[in-house]
């Protein structure tokens, strides 16, 4: 039995709310759930699903970023610097997406989902404590602090060129797959640049909207953004992202991360299977 337009809209909005909540809490962005949610459950063409996801990623960033900045977690200077690399990568990815078969996109998406699942259950350790200031990071004034129960904790980003290079890859994936590529962003900041995990997560949420906006224009020009689909996705994800921003500061998200990883790993296998079989 086919769902009515109202039923379809409500189901999409509710699924998007959950995706926005999980994406905000984990820093991975809601796109890792939205695209397979639309393609596997509702059989939406993957390019239209990516277009709607990019709009939702912008909403996620808009919803969560203001709250994280107000609470003192996000590092705006780091985010603005690294957005130069992700924006260029996003435009390149969006250009490629219009020329790659949908089955291949589904397979790439599945591989990225598996990587995201692995990353979410293996949170990287905070390696910033006790590190001396980095000269380039100091020149760019990237040092910062964030609130902890014991007071504000100061940190010193390092390895700026390595982080910048990884951000281009993150932008490429974002434009190609319609996701925030938060897993790569968090990896670049947390592992390569030695930025504390909560700062990496919140700064990732701040950045993903700019990355998505850089590639959304190409999808819009190609006709892959349907307002009737993008609107419930955007509203649901924005609401979920705001809720996640309120929960994150006091949350212990280990159980959530495990559940999220299991879910997206299952989705990844489905995406790869359908991509290989030419069913997407």
pTM beyond 0.95: the answer is no
Nearest to 134 by CA among 125, 124, 146, 144: 144
Contacts of 162 (CB under 8 A, 6+ apart): 188, 192, 193
240 has a pLDDT exceeding 80: yes
Contact 117, 180 (CB under 8 A): no
The DSSP letter of residue 4 is P
1 has a pLDDT exceeding 60: no
Q: Which residue has the tokens 């020149």?
A: 139
pLDDT value for 231: 92
d(C-alpha 143, C-alpha 148), whole Å: 16
The total domain count for the chain is: 1
Q: Which residue has the tokens 């919140």?
A: 202
Nearest to 188 by CA among 169, 166, 173: 166
Count each helix (H run) and each strand (E run) in the chain, helices first: 11, 2
pLDDT digits over 44-85, tens only?
A: 888 899 889 888 877 767 666 777 777 778 888 888 899 899
pLDDT digits over 135-185, tens only?
A: 888 788 888 888 877 788 888 888 888 888 888 888 887 777 776 666 677
What ranges in 134-196 are assigned the alpha helix state H? 135-139, 160-177, 182-187
d(C-alpha 173, C-alpha 165), whole Å: 13
**Residue 196 vs residues 13, 30, 249: alpha-carbon distances, Å:** 33, 22, 14
Identify the band that residue 10 occupies on the pLDDT scale cut at 50, 70 and 90. very high
Quick one: tokens of 169?
């890859």
* Cβ neighbours, 10 Å, residue 244: 25
pLDDT value for 62: 66
Residue 271 backbone phi and psi in degrees, to 5: -65, -45
d(C-alpha 112, C-alpha 101), whole Å: 17
pLDDT value for 105: 81
Q: What is the dihedral of CA 58, 64, 69, 74, to 10 degrees?
A: -80
- Residue 61 belongs to domain spanning: 5-276
Quick one: tokens of 176?
């190609």
């Amino acid at each position: 039995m086919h769902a009515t337009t109202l039923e379809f809209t409500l189901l999409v909005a509710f699924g998007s709310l959950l995706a926005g909540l999980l994406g905000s809490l984990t820093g991975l962005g809601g796109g890792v759930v939205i695209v397979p949610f639309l393609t596997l459950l509702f059989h939406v063409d993957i390019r239209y699903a990516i277009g709607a996801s990019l709009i939702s990623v912008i909403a996620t960033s808009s919803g969560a970023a203001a709250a994280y900045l107000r609470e003192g977690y996000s590092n705006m200077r780091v985010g603005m610097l690294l957005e130069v690399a992700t924006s260029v990568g996003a435009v390149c990815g969006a250009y490629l997406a219009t020329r790659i078969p949908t089955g291949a996109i589904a397979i790439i998406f599945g591989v990225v989902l598996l990587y995201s699942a692995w990353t979410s259950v293996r949170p990287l350790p905070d390696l910033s404590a006790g590190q001396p200031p980095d000269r380039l990071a100091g020149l760019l004034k990237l040092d910062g602090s964030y609130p902890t129960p014991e007071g504000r904790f100061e940190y010193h980003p390092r390895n700026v060129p390595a982080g910048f290079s990884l951000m281009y890859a993150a932008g490429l994936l974002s434009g190609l797959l319609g996701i925030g590529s938060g897993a790569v962003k968090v990896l670049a900041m947390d592992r390569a640049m030695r930025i504390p995990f909560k700062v990496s997560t919140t700064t990732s949420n701040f950045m993903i909207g700019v990355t998505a906006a850089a590639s959304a224009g190409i999808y819009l020009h190609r006709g892959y953004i349907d307002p009737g689909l993008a609107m419930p996705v955007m509203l649901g994800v924005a609401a979920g992202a705001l809720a996640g921003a309120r929960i994150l500061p006091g949350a212990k998200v280990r159980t959530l991360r495990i559940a999220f990883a299991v879910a997206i790993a299952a989705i990844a296998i489905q995406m790869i299977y359908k991509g290989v079989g030419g069913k997407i």
